[in-house]
Structure 1
């Protein structure tokens, strides 16, 4: 087993918050690319770069072969497959249910992580943090105002995607007990790239030079975001950092106003306040518990 990484909840929270910001920026870039090119090809190129970037990093840290050695190869493989399939399922949900309704359901994945972190990882989640997570989720629902479409049978598609992404996050935390973050990063990139390539090549189409620039930016940000998320799980409990993933909705609202000319309604302001308030409460509660443990 690899040496136990020193836990740092505050740093883990900062990493998850930064991950949420990068994911929001990716949504803006993906919105542009998906409007002009086949989504399967875009996803494939993204994971190609992810794999190349991971291999390049691994080669500088003892070699690809050494970094690739895992104490849990089957779990690492499952993580990579879960991630790429989850993204494909989300694409189907966007087509069948719509972007807003899909996000309204998918954003429940942090709650699924918190609910499963106890039985799967043996982590403790107190009632105060449960309450904060619930308030944050309520705030997200207020922001998105899910309509009747949410209750259609297609609602099961983004719910499945949320469950798969939550499981991916929990497995990331689980493998951190035996594998370094770089090992998990490399396995994610390689397995996902291999899995999506056959489908992506089938839907290949030419891309303009300008959009190749956006594509490369999306690829860089995707690799960085996933590495930050893996590090966040490595140095902090999943139940502590996961609520801060909800900040992605706040960042998306800001991007919508500044880049896409969207307006923020009163429900968005109220919902964002609840999400930020819940995240801040979770941070303060975590620090309080850390002080009590240290003093005890």
Structure 2
């Protein structure tokens, strides 16, 4: 299966002519939105069964995006061109995020983000093997440097593993598989339609767990569910849009910025402080991300109209 990058004009083209710049900006915005989603989910998972939280998050997402699309494009515009791909994505997405929601109750968001940084390794290899993307040494270097920064934060062998860490390490390759399928389907459906069907499939797949662990949420918890649905829907919308503009392997270094947003959330919301090694690792990661964005933009500018590098 192939996943061509689309260079067609979009609503940001006039404001930001560079396709690379648009892709990176959309990925950064999506990362911020996902951090808000993660904070909402962590707060809920501390009060309710995690698998019930995961189901409620997808139900909230459907309740927000479906009426909007029905109003904007009608039933015809909500149809997908490839339901099989959305279902295939659900096979990765459901166990991956099931494990993720279980892990978020055990770990700080900064640790979740740090462990999630192993994802680009799986995504980059998968993009080469299954999407036939050309990954040059700059992207491999950025992934490698970012991975080293993650090791500085986690310090394996010096910090004891807990169940949350093990669940995250199992979740990451599954989520990477979901992202690879998302890249393919983003070339066939519009971003809003991709997010709609992702939410529908997620709500259906998690329904047995949600009903099994049902607890009547309070008004405050309902607001948190709506917040998770809102931030998650917008986050997936922007990252799907970014997937239409750039190779998925080119976008992966941007995910390393998640450690910054996560560490800030830990301090602001839960009053936790990260040790100095977290910020050392974050500096390494942000440096690698900044470098790859700069080099990618220069490569595309120099070879405009030629093969992507």
- The residue that corresponds to 2:227 in the other structure is 217
Mean Cα deviation higher: 22-31 or 234-243: 22-31
Residue 242 of structure 1 deviates from its aligned partner by: 1.4
Residue 130 of structure 1 deviates from its aligned partner by: 0.7
Residue 147 of structure 1 deviates from its aligned partner by: 4.3
Structure-1 separation of matches of 2:224 and 2:231: 11
Residue 117 of structure 1 deviates from its aligned partner by: 1.2
1:283 maps to 2:293: yes
Residue 174 of structure 1 deviates from its aligned partner by: 1.0
Residue 94 of structure 1 deviates from its aligned partner by: 5.4
1:195 maps to 2:214: no
Structure-1 separation of matches of 2:37 and 2:151: 21
Give the 3 Å change call, closer, same or farther, for CA 294–78 of structure 1 in structure 2: same
Whether the aligned pair in 1 keeps the contact of 2:7 and 2:245 (CA below 8 Å) is yes
Mean Cα deviation higher: 249-258 or 205-214: 205-214
Deviations along 1:161-210, one digit per CA (max 9) or x if unpaired, are: 11111111111111223222232122101111111112201211122222
Give the 3 Å change call, closer, same or farther, for CA 294–248 of structure 1 in structure 2: same
Count of aligned residue pairs for this structure pair: 294
Structure-2 separation of matches of 1:148 and 1:73: 46
- The residue that corresponds to 2:41 in the other structure is 30
Structure-2 separation of matches of 1:149 and 1:94: 18
TM-score (norm 1): 0.88
- The residue that corresponds to 2:248 in the other structure is 238
Give the 3 Å change call, closer, same or farther, for CA 46–103 of structure 1 in structure 2: same
Residue 61 of structure 1 deviates from its aligned partner by: 3.9
Residue 289 of structure 1 deviates from its aligned partner by: 0.7
Mean Cα deviation higher: 47-56 or 285-294: 47-56
Residue 92 of structure 1 deviates from its aligned partner by: 4.3
Whether the aligned pair in 2 keeps the contact of 1:58 and 1:67 (CA below 8 Å) is yes
Give the 3 Å change call, closer, same or farther, for CA 4–258 of structure 1 in structure 2: closer
Structure 1 runs (4+) greater than 4 angstroms displaced: 1-5, 92-95, 97-104, 147-157
Whether the aligned pair in 2 keeps the contact of 1:123 and 1:237 (CA below 8 Å) is yes
Deviations along 1:115-170, one digit per CA (max 9) or x if unpaired, are: 22122112111112211111112112222334467779996643331111111111
SS of alignment partner, residue 132 of structure 1: helix
Residue 273 of structure 1 deviates from its aligned partner by: 0.8
TM-score (norm 2): 0.85
Structure-1 separation of matches of 2:273 and 2:156: 17
Whether the aligned pair in 2 keeps the contact of 1:110 and 1:166 (CA below 8 Å) is yes
Q: Give runs of aligned pairs for residues 95-114 of structure 1, distance below 5 A.
A: 104-114=114-124
In structure 1, runs of 5+ residues without a counterpart are none
**Higher helix content, 1 or 2:** 1
In structure 2, runs of 5+ residues without a counterpart are 10-18
- The residue that corresponds to 2:16 in the other structure is none
SS of alignment partner, residue 303 of structure 2: helix
Whether the aligned pair in 2 keeps the contact of 1:139 and 1:272 (CA below 8 Å) is yes
- The residue that corresponds to 2:146 in the other structure is 136
- The residue that corresponds to 2:56 in the other structure is 45
Structure-2 separation of matches of 1:174 and 1:32: 33
* Alignment RMSD: 2.8
- The residue that corresponds to 1:173 in the other structure is 183
